[in-house]
């Protein structure tokens, strides 16, 4: 057996029998109630995709880092701040999920309602050098930069990356890691502090989707050079200046999602021609002036 799809089944514990399926390449336990994985998960040496979205898994056994063929490692859960309960994926975004953004604005943009959570990673993640999709990672709050230098920075094959819980002292190490990811297509970053992303020396030229959740004084200068960027989402940025001069340089841009993205007194002045070119424009406040 190469593929095992258990999406939505009423599982509460991980079936040990799975770890005897030595030829397994794809395993999905999405939308189940499992909360942990056994050490024997390290037996699945051929595994390429591990989908644990909408489970209760927040930590992984160290044996997971033996799965050198992993291409996709997907772990996430979404919780309602008021009840602490899980909520359906379709209504949980917090700036991370792109599907149905134009039909689901109230859920996509309200940071004060939903919080996206992932799994706690260590620097050992750097062993999984074949990873192409990784998320959602709760960045460890460490003063040392081992997680980035020996971990994230080793994942140069990544196409999609989602990080949450970024801290102010980690920006330099994060920028260095991003500069090594030349294949990156989708990047989502979440911080409760203020972004400082100016030090990305080699921006991922193939990037198509960028989501930043957290304060940002101004757009990083390298963002304006992303010729392939199609989707840009800014949530809680509180930009101190109108970003339109940068956005107009992005010839492939199709979707702009803004919520609480402009500081008090800042208005976006957008030409009608640029507005017409954008396929979907979402703005959570009335700070747009067309000319």
Give the CATH number of domain 71-290.
3.80.10.10
Residue 136's nearest CA partner among 94, 195, 193 is 94
> In which residue ranges of the chain is pLDDT below 50?
80-114
pTM confidence score? 0.87
- DSSP code, position 276: H
pLDDT given at position 143? 63
Q: What is the 3-state secondary structure (H, E, C) of 20-42?
A: HCCCCCEEECCCCCCCCCCHHHH
pLDDT given at position 215? 94
Helix (H, G, I), strand (E, B) or coil at 18: helix
The token pair that represents 290 in the structure block: 């067309």
85 CB burial (10 A radius; 0-12, 13-18, 19+): exposed
| Pairing relationship of beta strands 209-215 and 231-235 according to DSSP bridges | parallel
Rounded to whole angstroms, the Cα distance separating 11 from 32 reads: 6
pLDDT given at position 102? 40
pLDDT given at position 104? 40
Q: Domain extents for the chain?
A: 1-43+56-66, 71-290
pLDDT given at position 283? 81
pLDDT given at position 159? 98
pLDDT given at position 79? 58
pLDDT given at position 287? 80
**Maximum distance among all Cα pairs of the chain, rounded to whole angstroms:** 64
The residue assigned the tokens 């930009």 is 239
Q: Which residues pair with 46 in a beta bridge?
A: none
Rounded to whole angstroms, the Cα distance separating 104 from 109 reads: 9
């Amino acid at each position: 057996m190469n593929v095992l799809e258990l999406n939505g089944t009423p599982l509460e514990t991980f079936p040990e029998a799975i770890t005897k399926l030595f030829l397994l390449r794809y395993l999905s336990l999405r939308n189940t109630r499992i909360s942990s994985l056994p050490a024997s998960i390290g037996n699945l040496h051929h595994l390429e995709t591990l989908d644990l979205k909408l489970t209760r898994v927040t930590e992984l056994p160290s044996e997971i880092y033996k799965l050198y063929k992993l291409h996709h490692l997907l772990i996430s859960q979404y919780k309602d701040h008021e009840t602490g309960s899980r909520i359906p994926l379709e209504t949980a975004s917090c700036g991370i999920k792109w599907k149905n953004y134009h039909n689901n604005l109230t859920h996509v943009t309200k940071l004060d309602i939903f919080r996206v959570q992932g799994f706690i990673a260590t620097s050992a993640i750097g062993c999984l050098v074949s990873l192409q999709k990784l998320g959602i990672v709760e960045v460890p709050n460490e003063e040392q930069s081992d997680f980035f230098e020996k971990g994230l920075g080793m994942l140069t094959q990544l196409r999609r990356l989602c990080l949450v819980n970024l801290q102010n002292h980690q920006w330099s190490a994060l920028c260095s890691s991003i500069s090594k990811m030349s294949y990156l297509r989708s990047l989502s970053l979440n911080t409760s502090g203020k972004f400082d992303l100016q030090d990305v020396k080699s921006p991922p030229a193939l990037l198509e989707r960028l989501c930043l959740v957290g304060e940002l004084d101004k757009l990083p200068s390298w963002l304006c050079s992303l010729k392939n960027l199609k989707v840009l989402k800014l949530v809680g940025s509180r930009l101190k200046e109108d970003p339109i001069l940068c956005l107009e340089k992005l010839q492939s841009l199709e979707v702009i999602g803004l919520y609480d993205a402009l500081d008090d007194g800042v208005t976006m002045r957008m030409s009608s021609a640029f507005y017409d070119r954008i396929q979907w424009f979402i703005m959570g406040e009335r700070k747009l002036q067309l000319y």
